[in-house]
Amino acid sequence: MGFIFKGILAVIWLLVVPCLAGGFYFRREKRTCGEYLLAGYTLLFAITELLSLTMIFTKQPLHLLTVTYGAVAGVLAFLGVWSLYKKRQKETGEGAGTYCGRRIEATGISPELVVAGILILFQLVVVVLYAHMDEDDAFYVGTATTAVETDSLYAYNPYTGAAYNVLPSRYILSPFPAFLAVTSRLCGGLHPAIVAHTVFPAVFVFLAYVVLFQYSRIFFKGKAGEQGIFMILCAVILWFCGYSVYNSEIFTMGRIWQGKAVLAGVFLPFLFLLCMEIFMQEKPEYPWSLAFLANGACCLFSSMGIMLAPLLMGVFALLSLVKFRDGRRFLKSVVCCLPSLILGVVYILVF
């Protein structure tokens, strides 16, 4: 297959399909494209965690995981298309701007937002054309490449090529390299190293800015100029973040293809936003199920996600209990942490 065709497949599987899957998730509500994309990725990553762990522990080949994930994602995308079509029909019948009692505010595009968009586009070009060679790639990209070449899942040590006698307990419950391998297969056999260093940076750095833009919509509702200034500030901070190798910004700009960087740069900020908008609001802005899925998605990226996600959600659950004094809300909060809690128990009992 030509490189251009593989690039088109990457756009379809990493942008179009998640966005349409988010359209299916919000099938009863009208949302923005950014919210569709974030919800779609949250749903697909949670599904990937479940499928990957099931197939790793049952010693299934990579191609089975690829076909299963592709089929599930494809079905969700198709249902998303259908849901968006039905919503458009209902919108036409009821009048633009409202759907199911929810009003979508159009803020327009300000000059500041245009400047922010140019800065972000420049950063995306940089992370695609240039790459930071990180020592951790020996495991993360090596694991994905080994999976692709051997059609297996965590069967061989990427350092030595020898078969695993014991699964790597530090990494096995967060198999993000399996998603990299699946993406490589779905993109027509595009090499995992190319996907990791060229495709993933463009997608996930963009996704990080989508999360930040959701914050701007909360802080400066209906004010496009202020939203643009906020995004410019975020772009500048992210660009001049090299004062340390440990902050989330340098993880985002320098090694976003690694699961722990996606966790730090995209999903922990998104989970924080969900906690603010679900746990701390009398009428939640998002469904409780999205917090549950986000917790499961965080487990995919890193073992730290299994620990940090419930810790973050637990703090907000306690704050919510103090604010509302509602035991049912607190119980819902605990249920949202179940994926992390279950994997924590599995780690203690099995490893």
* Residue range 207-224, pLDDT digits in tens: 999 999 999 999 998 888
What band does 103 get if pLDDT is binned at 50, 70 and 90?
very low
pLDDT of residue 98: 46
Q: What is the predicted pLDDT for the residue at 105?
A: 55
State residue 63's pLDDT score: 96
pLDDT at position 144: 96
- List pLDDT tens digits, range 117-176: 999 999 999 999 987 778 888 999 999 999 999 999 999 999 999 999 888 888 999 999
**% of the chain with per-residue pLDDT over 70:** 95
pLDDT the model gives residue 291? 96
CB count within 10 Å of CB 314 equals 16
How confident is residue 99, by pLDDT bands cut at 50, 70 and 90?
A: very low
Cα–Cα nearest to 295, from 38, 22, 42: 42
pLDDT of residue 94: 61
d(CA 164, CA 39): 35
pLDDT classification of 1: cutoffs 50, 70, 90: low
DSSP SS3 for 102 = strand
Q: Give the residue from 311, 13, 45, 14 showing the smallest Cα distance to 175.
A: 45
Q: Judge whether residue 44 has pLDDT over 80.
A: yes
- Name the average pLDDT for the chain: 91
Integer Cα distance of 74 and 27 in angstroms: 16
CA distance 45 to 298: 8
Spell out the domain ranges in the chain: 3-350
Looking at the predicted structure, is the pLDDT value of residue 37 above 60? yes
pLDDT tens per residue across span 180-203: 999 999 999 999 999 999 999 999
Each residue's pLDDT tens digit, 5-17: 999 999 999 999 9
Predicted TM-score (pTM) above 0.85: yes
Tokens found for residue 118? 């140019």
Whether residue 347 has pLDDT greater than 60: yes
Which amino acid type is present at position 81? V
Q: Is the pLDDT of residue 52 over 90?
A: yes
Q: Is 7 exposed, middle or buried (0-12, 13-18, 19+ CB in 10 A)?
A: middle
Q: So what's the pLDDT on residue 104?
A: 52
Per-residue pLDDT, 246? 82
pLDDT at position 101: 40
pLDDT on residue 269: 96
Residue 162 has what DSSP assignment?
A: P
Mean pLDDT of all residues in 310-331: 94
